[in-house]
Structure 1
Amino acid sequence: MGSHLCSKLQALSSKIKQASSNGKWREVVSGYSEIQRAGIQFKDPFVFPIVFKACAKLSWLSQGRCIHASLFKREFESFVSVGNSIADFYMKCGDLNSAMRVFDCMNSRDSVSWNVIVFGLLDHGFEEEGLWWFSKSRILGFEPNVSTLVLVIHAFRSLRSFVDGEKIHSYVIRSGFWGISSVQNSILCIYSERDSSSTRKLFDEMSERDVISWSVVIRSYVQSQEPVLGLKLFREMVREAKTEPDCVTVTSVLKACAVMEDIDMGRSVHGFSIRKGFDLGDVFVRNSLIDMYSKGFDVDSAFRVFDETTCRNMVSWNSILAGFVHNQRYEEALKMFDLMRKEAIEADEVTLVSLLQVCKFFEQPLPCKSIHCVIIRHGYESNEVALSSLIDAYTSCSLVDDARTVFGSMTYKDVVSSSTMISGLARFGRSNEAISIFCQIKDKLNAITVINLLDACSVSADLRKSKWAHGIAIRRGLATTHISVDTSIVDAYAKCGAVEIARRTFDQIPSKNIVSWTVIISAYAMSGLPDKALASFEEMKREGYKPNAVTYLAVLSACNHGGLIKQGLMIFKSMVKDHNKPSLQHYSCVVDMLSRAGEIDKAMELIKNLPEHVKAGASAWGSILSGCRNRSKSGIMTKEAVAEVLELEPLCSSGYLLASSVFAAEESWEDVAKMRKLVKERNVRVVAGYSMVLEGSMARRFLAGEKLNQSDYELTDVVKSLHRCARLEDEVTDGLKAQWA
């Protein structure tokens, strides 16, 4: 090579290296092309890694392949550094097969070679393959670099391989990588996925902590449903002047506030994020603020944050929509959805779940079917949350068979969808179907599933089924550990008429709450034991539990059906005195109580003097009407009550039947005929009352006025069957008594 060409080669090589150091990758490639055009042959292999790095940075796959081909002819691939740079180039351009072929053809490999392959596979999401190659490199004695090691740790975390995570932790300590903060934080992330106590222990052992370390532990507490500890650690972090929280930290803290529904703490964190400038441009912080305010029942503040957000994404829209639904502002949720469509934002599965909640509230079957069509059209049928919400909405809209069809079409029926279907069937009295679905559940049962099963058993009014469900709760370790399950067991026994067993189950609850006390009071009320209901009410107050609106309704109902007018009125007055605002149901119960006792004038006076926010409903006027039936010559009062009942519930048969009964008692046959005429004119469907009798394992339903069909079975057989069931029930009860004793 002439001196002129040699000097030109040196100048171009220097130009390429200078351009590389300045990050001018196009100049690197153009410099190499200039050498090629000049026809200069050079033996310096260290330029090629720079050129391949430039091609990788520019994602110029075809140019890189051409350079690779020219090197292959001149046997420059034999240099390890050149082979590594080619493999790395292919990896970074996404051509993993070519990278692996280059690696396989290398005559000699060093740690860089193995790091290129392991890092490339892990970086492209091939975690299992990357970890396999990592294990192979370790067997051959090659060491990973820090970047590769961090990716290996994150791969174990992603695969939730905690045992391997502990092994890599040991390797990190042995190999001297533990002092590197990025490696420490990666190990901390593995423990944060498992439990917060191990995470905190490791965090306390760290000599140097950065903002990532603090954020990981705070997030771990929030994920472990320990938001109080997460907020406590955040306060510690803020007090330490060395570590400043970032957007990720604030997002985790806002989530803790949302879990706790602590709106005051949330506002403080909002103020902190404003001072630090986090809330303006960071969409994650903005979305977390919307979620926090929504779950803290301040959806107006949530909407203000949403309205001021310029960098909205799909999560922003779904968060505010879910916020309105969570706060039961369904009409505003629909307005937000309309705004979404005007902004050309296409709904996803999360949006559809919120809309199904709106349909459930308004009990609108047609929109449910429309959303079902959207789910099918967009391929969301594999989304279990969307399908479970659809099942719930269908059952709420009385489309139980459609819900069954959706449930049957699911390839994988998890515990959530099964629980939702069981709940829907139980609500419509189809207890046998609900129990059948429960028996098919293969996943681990949770408390909600068992509660729904108990509801189904209580609907069937079958004591044996309720005892069977109680046994399942005991075997699964959910009885005496979940207050909601224990309360449902008490309620199931009460609805089966086994009030003594209900009381014994109630007494076994280790830590009672106001709900469990309300259920046992209701149990006594349903069973016609008002004295015991009142005694339990007084016992509850002595134990320090403050009655809520439902508790007051239960005890008022007990007084109503037990004819304890004086006690009922005293309890109602104490409710008002204790600053518990009575609702329409409480007033209706008192009106019914007075009407049953023949105090129609007082009941009517109470209706006429209701507070402004309460308007008498059909049940209150129905109670007045029912009281008129037992009082001769009610006259104007009867006609007024009839007019109100029929106006409030024009399509309900019970009002017409009751009015007809009252008019018949007053011998006003013309009015009786008028009621019958109205029923025909308005096409009112008359629903007959029925009773259920358990014969063997079958629950038979008998409509009012229905005659027994002797061809099916003889009456004597039914009586014998009832005696057998009674004996069996006594035996089971005696067995339980012996067990409790």
Structure 2
Amino acid sequence: MGPHMCRKLQALSSRIKQASSNAKWRDVLSAYSDIQTSGTQLNDPFLFPIVLKSCAKLSRLSQGRCLHASLLKRGFESFVSVGNSIVDLYMKCGDFCSATRALFTSSRDDSVSRNVVVFGFLDRGFAERGLRWFSESRAWGFDPNVSTLVLVIQALRRGFGSYVDGEKIHGYVIRSGFFGISSVQNSVLSLYAGFDLFTARKVFDEMSERDVVSWSVVIRCYVQTREPVFALNLFREMVREGKTGPDSVTVTSVLHGCALLEDADVGRSVHGFSIRKGFDLGDVFVLNSLIDMYSKGFDVDSAFRVFDEMTCRNMVTWNSILAGFVHNQRNEEALEMFGLMRKEAVGADEVTLVSLLQVCKFFQQPLPCKSVHCVIIRRAYESNKVVFTSLIDAYTSCSLVDNATTLFESMSFKDVVSCSTMISGLARSGRPDEAISIFCQMKDKPNAITIINLLDACSVSADLRKSRWAHGIAIRRGLATTDISVDTSIADAYAKCGAIEMARRTFDSVPRKNVVSWTVIISAYAINGLPEKALASFEEMKREGCTPNAVTYLAVLSACNHGGLIKQGLMIFKSMVEDHNKPSLKHYSCLVDMLSRAGEIETAMELIKNLPDDMKPGAGAWGSILSGCRNRLKSGIVTTEAISEVLVLEPMCSSGYLLASSVFAAEKSWEDVASMRRLVKERKVPVVAGYSTVLEGAIAKRFLAGEKLNQSDCEINNVVQSLHRCLTLENTMEWI
């Protein structure tokens, strides 16, 4: 080779090295191509790995094969660095067969080449093959490098290994001296976090040096295991220690913890911290977490302010604020937000449709619910179980129970969530027998939610035997006396079946009573006509240190209402206001009903006229006024106004027309009675008849008002007549 060609080869070789140092892989291949076309051959074995690496980086598999063939002919494959680079080329290009063949045919099968193969399998997502190669290579005496070891631990964390495998790799890491490396420490910590929080915390406490990843892993683990208090305490410790500052990942986990606690005040302080650190200025993950935290902390106005100030929004942002409005029962604004999404040309996904179905459920509008169903079909979202279950739930709430049943029956596998939703929907729709039938056909083991929904169905059926049966199932499943929600539902079911003593025994067996369980027993006494015991339980609740909420006050007021305890009811309402509990429209309506029943029509009307500015009396309040006028035989302007308001507020509800008709009948104003009946027919108002239920053996017989008994109900007819004779005789004896 002449001097000119030597200088040219040296220049091209220098060009390859320079391009490699600058990661300009195309320039490397270009320089190598120039060497080939110049008529000379590259003989420097240290340059071939660079060219092979360039082929791997650019996925030039065919060019790499040609170079491999050339190296085989010229005997360069015997160089260790060249052989390992050939294996690396094939692994990174996805030609695993050629990679393993090159490994086994090379003159030297060492730890470097084994690392290349194991790392290649794991890095490209073939975790099982990578772990198998790792295990076989360990038996051969292979020593992994840090990168390979981290990928092995990550594969075990993703579910390709057991807790025992984790302990084995942890032991190997300690013996081999890798545990001092932060990336390996954090990988082991993440591995245990996926299996056992206690062990993960122990590893964390034993670490001499903790970086931001270490802190973030344990904080996230506490949040994922629904232990947000521990997560917040650890975050405070991290900030107080001051050695390692939290990053946006840490703050995101802490905000999720605040969302679990539903504590916007703590979340607001974390928000202030993130502002000082500059995390919320452009990090969409932190901002989305802020929206979720404020929404679940019942401060959706702050959530919307965060949303409104965002310059960059993604699909999660829109879904978070939409779900926030739904969670805070501000469904009108949720609809406005969805309209804004359409205006901004943001396409709805599965999460968006679930929120829309919740809105349909709230407004009980069948047509929009069907429209959402059409979108679900067009976009092939029916395979999404959350969407499908939400659709079933919305249909049952919109009085489309048959549609929900059809959807439920079309499911190939009915899991515990779908069954629980269907049981709840049927119970809510007054079809408890079908709900119980679905429970009996369940293949999955019922959870606490399923049992609660089953108890709901039993309470709707008002069948004590079914409630006791459901109670037995809760005991066998180990949910009675261990899950306060289940115990509370058991007590509620017994109360609605009239078994107040059994309800009280169930309540007394609850080890740690909360405001919900106290409210249930107070309501139980109220609905069973025992207002004095309801008030006694209310006082006992306060002595036990449990603070009543708005629902509790409503239950006590209802007890006073139906028991005629006007003075006590007014005192309780006054104490509610003094305790800084803002009364809702339901509380005012209960007070109006209580005054109307007592004949204090003028006082009730005065209360209606002086409601807070943000409240408007509903049909129930006006109906109470109307009912009071009928019972006291009072007529005039008050009656006329009450009838007008009831019919305007609920034009398609038969109860308002029937109540107005009964008022006119009490006044013997038969023309007005006929007028009400004509209105019902003209407006096509569906009339729902009242009914009573009588048990015949194990079968509950329902009798509609005005219905004639057929021949098959002759025995029941005899029972009813016999009962009537006994009651008549008892009344006669009392009169005597």
1:269-311 superposed Cα distances (whole Å, 9 cap, x missing partner): 3333333333223222222222222223333332333333333
Question: How many Å separate the matches in 2 of 1:582 and 1:316?
Answer: 34
After superposition, residues 425-436 of structure 1 pair within 5 angstroms as 425-436=426-437
Question: How many Å separate the matches in 2 of 1:241 and 1:588?
Answer: 55
Distance 1:275 1:66, change over 3 A: farther
Q: Bigger CA drift: 495-504 or 203-212?
A: 203-212
After superposition, residues 583-602 of structure 1 pair within 5 angstroms as 583-602=584-603
What letter matches 1:173 in structure 2? I
Tell me the equivalent position of 1:349: 350
Q: Bigger CA drift: 603-612 or 86-95?
A: 603-612
Question: How many Å separate the matches in 1 of 2:666 and 2:721?
Answer: 39
What letter matches 2:582 in structure 1? K
Distance 1:303 1:605, change over 3 A: closer
Contact preservation (8 Å) 2:709, 2:717:
no
Q: How far 1:488 moved relative to its partner?
A: 0.8
Contact preservation (8 Å) 1:90, 1:99:
yes
Tell me the equivalent position of 1:65: 65
Question: How many Å separate the matches in 2 of 1:663 and 1:112?
Answer: 98
Tell me the equivalent position of 1:135: 135
Question: How many Å separate the matches in 2 of 1:648 and 1:712?
Answer: 40
Tell me the equivalent position of 1:225: 226
Q: Does 1:32 align with 2:2?
A: no
Question: How many Å separate the matches in 2 of 1:386 and 1:124?
Answer: 32
What SS does the aligned partner of 2:358 have? helix
Distance 1:717 1:154, change over 3 A: farther
Tell me the equivalent position of 1:407: 408
Tell me the equivalent position of 2:245: 244
Question: How many Å separate the matches in 2 of 1:684 and 1:77?
Answer: 90
After superposition, residues 474-553 of structure 1 pair within 5 angstroms as 474-553=475-554
What SS does the aligned partner of 2:684 have? coil
Question: How many Å separate the matches in 2 of 1:248 and 1:612?
Answer: 45
Distance 1:617 1:720, change over 3 A: closer
Contact preservation (8 Å) 2:296, 2:324:
yes
What SS does the aligned partner of 2:693 have? strand
Question: How many Å separate the matches in 1 of 2:309 and 2:599?
Answer: 61
1:204-256 superposed Cα distances (whole Å, 9 cap, x missing partner): 11112111111111111211222222222222222334322222222222222
Tell me the equivalent position of 1:185: 186
Q: How far 1:636 moved relative to its partner?
A: 4.2
Question: How many Å separate the matches in 1 of 2:340 and 2:237?
Answer: 42
Q: How far 1:696 moved relative to its partner?
A: 2.8
What letter matches 2:459 in structure 1? S
What SS does the aligned partner of 2:589 have? helix
Question: How many Å separate the matches in 2 of 1:411 and 1:620?
Answer: 47
Identity of matched residues, %? 79
What SS does the aligned partner of 2:537 have? helix
Q: How far 1:156 moved relative to its partner?
A: 0.3
Tell me the equivalent position of 2:300: 299
Tell me the equivalent position of 1:447: 448
Question: How many Å separate the matches in 2 of 1:157 and 1:633?
Answer: 76
Q: How far 1:493 moved relative to its partner?
A: 0.3
What SS does the aligned partner of 1:691 have? strand
Distance 1:300 1:646, change over 3 A: closer
Question: How many Å separate the matches in 1 of 2:324 and 2:534?
Answer: 39
After superposition, residues 269-668 of structure 1 pair within 5 angstroms as 269-632=270-633, 634-668=635-669
What SS does the aligned partner of 1:142 have? coil
Question: How many Å separate the matches in 1 of 2:74 and 2:209?
Answer: 51
Q: How far 1:716 moved relative to its partner?
A: 7.1
Question: How many Å separate the matches in 1 of 2:634 and 2:307?
Answer: 63
Contact preservation (8 Å) 2:212, 2:244:
yes
1:62-121 superposed Cα distances (whole Å, 9 cap, x missing partner): 432332343344454444432321221232234445434444544541112221121111
Contact preservation (8 Å) 1:195, 1:224:
no
Distance 1:261 1:524, change over 3 A: closer
Distance 1:281 1:581, change over 3 A: closer
Contact preservation (8 Å) 1:696, 1:721:
no
Q: Bigger CA drift: 119-128 or 276-285?
A: 276-285
Q: How far 1:146 moved relative to its partner?
A: 0.8
Q: How far 1:122 moved relative to its partner?
A: 1.0
Distance 1:170 1:617, change over 3 A: same
What letter matches 1:132 in structure 2? R
Q: Bigger CA drift: 213-222 or 533-542?
A: 533-542
Tell me the equivalent position of 2:157: 157
Question: How many Å separate the matches in 2 of 1:277 and 1:544?
Answer: 43
Distance 1:270 1:622, change over 3 A: closer
Contact preservation (8 Å) 1:518, 1:550:
yes
Tell me the equivalent position of 2:19: 19
Contact preservation (8 Å) 2:52, 2:89:
yes
What letter matches 1:428 in structure 2? S
What letter matches 1:688 in structure 2? A
Contact preservation (8 Å) 1:195, 1:220:
no
Question: How many Å separate the matches in 1 of 2:700 and 2:490?
Answer: 21
Q: Does 1:167 align with 2:168?
A: yes
Question: How many Å separate the matches in 2 of 1:275 and 1:581?
Answer: 36
Q: How far 1:560 moved relative to its partner?
A: 2.3
What letter matches 1:227 in structure 2? P
What letter matches 1:170 in structure 2? G
1:568-590 superposed Cα distances (whole Å, 9 cap, x missing partner): 33333333343433333233323
Question: How many Å separate the matches in 2 of 1:112 and 1:278?
Answer: 41
Question: How many Å separate the matches in 1 of 2:633 and 2:333?
Answer: 51
1:114-151 superposed Cα distances (whole Å, 9 cap, x missing partner): 21121111111111121111111112221211101100
Question: How many Å separate the matches in 2 of 1:490 and 1:79?
Answer: 80
What letter matches 2:470 in structure 1? A
Question: How many Å separate the matches in 1 of 2:270 and 2:603?
Answer: 55
Question: How many Å separate the matches in 1 of 2:653 and 2:321?
Answer: 38
After superposition, residues 108-119 of structure 1 pair within 5 angstroms as 108-119=108-119
Tell me the equivalent position of 1:736: none
- TM value normalised by structure 1: 0.91
Distance 1:435 1:711, change over 3 A: closer
Tell me the equivalent position of 1:52: 52
Distance 1:136 1:189, change over 3 A: same
Question: How many Å separate the matches in 2 of 1:300 and 1:569?
Answer: 34
Q: Bigger CA drift: 521-530 or 367-376?
A: 367-376
What SS does the aligned partner of 1:40 have? coil
Contact preservation (8 Å) 1:653, 1:686:
yes
Tell me the equivalent position of 2:120: 120
Contact preservation (8 Å) 1:695, 1:718:
no
Q: How far 1:189 moved relative to its partner?
A: 0.2
What SS does the aligned partner of 1:693 have? strand
Contact preservation (8 Å) 1:150, 1:183:
yes
Distance 1:260 1:552, change over 3 A: closer
Q: How far 1:713 moved relative to its partner?
A: 5.3
Q: How far 1:195 moved relative to its partner?
A: 3.3
Q: Bigger CA drift: 522-531 or 262-271?
A: 262-271
Tell me the equivalent position of 2:731: none
Question: How many Å separate the matches in 1 of 2:201 and 2:634?
Answer: 78
Question: How many Å separate the matches in 2 of 1:189 and 1:586?
Answer: 51
What SS does the aligned partner of 1:634 have? coil
Contact preservation (8 Å) 2:228, 2:257:
yes
Question: How many Å separate the matches in 1 of 2:336 and 2:69?
Answer: 61
1:318-338 superposed Cα distances (whole Å, 9 cap, x missing partner): 222222222233233223323
Question: How many Å separate the matches in 2 of 1:174 and 1:308?
Answer: 53
Question: How many Å separate the matches in 1 of 2:19 and 2:609?
Answer: 91
Unpaired segments ≥5 residues, structure 2: 724-736
Question: How many Å separate the matches in 2 of 1:406 and 1:633?
Answer: 52
What letter matches 2:660 in structure 1? A
Contact preservation (8 Å) 1:695, 1:721:
no
Q: Bigger CA drift: 560-569 or 496-505?
A: 560-569
Unpaired segments ≥5 residues, structure 1: 723-741
Contact preservation (8 Å) 1:628, 1:634:
yes
Distance 1:237 1:50, change over 3 A: same
What SS does the aligned partner of 2:571 have? helix
Contact preservation (8 Å) 2:319, 2:351:
yes
Question: How many Å separate the matches in 1 of 2:628 and 2:269?
Answer: 57
Distance 1:409 1:81, change over 3 A: farther
